[in-house]
């Protein structure tokens, strides 16, 4: 079954075209990686999949329903979609606005009118799972970047969505936190749910994805399993996912080899 179908989708910011006649299809239950350098259109695509933006032309369909502003005007569809599909932004400050971490994570269940006892239980469970229970009474905007990212993720995972959209999820995390987050995403939902990750970090690609979609200039330029994408050095260099790293030997000869952006600090 098709989860998302993107059909000749175009989206522009004033005179800048972010997506250009983009067409792709993401199956239900897949772990998809949207790959591309900065400006390739992957973050914009996530917002269109989440129904936050709407294209100037073309279509985005979710399980066969075309996502439009008119459709989201119907509360029944909008509430169910927001429960089913969760987006975690690259910058957590965009989505954190409550006075405490507990309030932040409890916000969406409160909007859906869950019983208060169930909300408390579920919030405590997800805070513990993400190792941030000790931050429960802290003010979100005073946390570190990595802590904010975990709170933002918790505020989405608390609803147990069927589809998780992630924009550069490991950015601003230390190596240990990155590893813990990758483990959580791999285990989340027993592998039965859909996870769509926008990233330019190739290090954990084989763990987080079973299918990759490479974007360049707002267009799809490749679609393949991660191991095939990682073997295609010409594609990775052409789309700026790696660059040629040059160094000089003692003899004076110059040598170059592919160098991943993910290794840069």
Q: What are the structural domain ranges in the chain? A: 2-263
The tens-digit pLDDT sequence of the chain (265 residues) is: 899 999 999 999 988 999 999 999 999 999 999 999 989 999 999 999 999 999 999 999 999 999 999 999 999 999 999 999 999 999 999 999 999 999 999 999 998 889 999 999 999 999 999 999 999 999 999 999 889 999 999 999 999 999 999 999 887 778 888 888 888 877 776 667 899 999 988 988 988 899 999 999 999 999 999 999 999 999 999 999 985 544 455 555 544 445 454 433 3
Q: Are 198 and 19 in contact (CB under 8 A)?
A: no
0.95 exceeded by pTM: no
The rounded distance, in Å, linking the Cα atoms of 101 and 140 is 6
CATH number assigned to the domain covering 2-263: 3.40.50.300
Torsion angle of alpha carbons 25, 28, 34, 40, nearest 10°? 40
Look up residue 236 and give its two tokens.
Answer: 């990775």
């Amino acid at each position: 079954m098709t989860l998302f179908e993107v059909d000749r989708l175009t989206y522009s910011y004033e005179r800048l075209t972010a997506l250009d006649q983009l067409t792709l299809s993401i199956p239900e239950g897949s772990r998809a990686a949207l790959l591309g350098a900065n400006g390739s259109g992957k973050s914009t695509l996530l917002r269109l999949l989440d129904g936050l933006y709407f294209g100037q032309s073309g279509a985005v369909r979710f399980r066969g329903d075309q996502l439009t502003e008119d459709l989201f005007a119907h509360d029944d569809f909008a509430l169910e979609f927001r429960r089913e599909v969760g987006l975690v932004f690259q910058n957590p400050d965009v989505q954190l606005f409550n006075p405490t971490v507990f309030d932040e994570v409890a916000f969406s269940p409160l909007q859906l009118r869950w019983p208060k006892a169930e909300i408390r239980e579920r919030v405590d469970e997800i805070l513990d799972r993400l190792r941030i229970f000790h931050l429960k009474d802290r003010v979100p905007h005073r946390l570190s970047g990595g802590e904010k990212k975990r709170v933002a993720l918790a505020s989405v995972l608390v609803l147990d969505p069927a589809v998780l959209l992630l924009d550069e999820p490991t950015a601003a995390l230390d190596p240990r936190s990155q590893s813990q987050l990758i483990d959580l995403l791999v285990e989340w939902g027993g592998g039965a749910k859909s996870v769509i990750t926008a990233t330019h970090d190739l290090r954990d690609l084989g763990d987080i994805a079973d299918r990759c979609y490479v974007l360049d200039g707002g267009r799809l330029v490749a679609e393949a399993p991660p191991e095939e994408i990682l073997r295609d050095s010409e594609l990775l260099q052409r789309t700026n996912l790696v660059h040629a790293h040059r160094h000089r030997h003692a003899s004076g000869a110059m040598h170059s080899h592919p160098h991943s952006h993910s290794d840069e600090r």
